[in-house]
Amino acid sequence: MSKAATLSITSKWPEVTVVSQTPQLIALFTIIRDVNTKRGDFVFYSDRIIRILVEEGLNHLPVKDIEVPTPTDVTYDGLQFEGKICGVSIMRAGEAMEQGLRDCCRSVRIGKILIQRDEETAEPKLFYEKLPADIKDRYVLLLDPMLATGGSAITAVEVLISKGVPAERILFLNLISTPEGIETFVKACPGVKIITGFIDKCLNEKKFVSPGLGDFGDRYYCI
């Protein structure tokens, strides 16, 4: 999507943050979008993008002032995260983002939610969830590589809110999103922030992200 179109979306939906579109990031996306990219390279470069996303997400968490002593007997006025965090991955593709979070946040708690499409209704359906017992007291980084229609992500947010997590404490991290998915998600989940790596052009007639990168889970996990 063009810079102007992206700016239009982020201006309309201030809940959405698009990671800075540096030449490095575009080069990484170019590699993982390429149908000819081998699985090993797909995993390696996807992990690099995920790390960038996680670091951007952490920038949106509240901090407080803290003073610490240094080895030179001089105090330093710094910052400290204000609350506890955890990650929640939407299985299975979202699990690919867990290590990127662990690389940035030592010993971080990780929860999981399994959502699949009901074959009869074609609607997303919750099949499984395992979350930290104190999740309502944490800031939650919700992890899923693609925001297409928004159905699974909305269901996941509903699960988190049902567990007592305030919408304002949820950050949804994804590599690629669509304008349609963003609009649907923001309307259904007011207060939740989206941190995305790129906003693609659209959903095609089959409801696939276009230009997209194919099925992220299949390309990441399948040899």
3-221 domain in CATH 3.90.930.12?
no
Distance of CA 60 to the CA centre of its chain: 13
Would you tell me how many other CB atoms lie within 10 Å of the CB of residue 117? 12
For residue 123, pLDDT over 80 is answered with no
Cis peptide before 14 (omega within 30 of 0): no
In whole angstroms, give the CA distance from residue 63 to residue 16: 20
Is the separation of the CB atoms in 146 and 216 below 8 Å?
A: yes
| Residue in 158, 170, 166 with CA at minimum distance from that of residue 136 | 166
CA 199 to mean position of chain CA atoms: 13
pLDDT in tens, 157-194: 999 999 999 999 999 999 999 999 999 999 999 999 99
pLDDT digits (tens, 9 = 90+) for 41-56: 999 999 999 999 999 9
Confidence grade of residue 3 (pLDDT, cut at 50, 70, 90):
confident
Domain residue spans of the chain? 3-221
Res. 146: pLDDT tops 90: yes
Catalytic residues: 117, 121, 215, 218
Q: Which two tokens stand for residue 130?
A: 């395992």
**Per-residue pLDDT averaged across 79-108, rounded?**
95
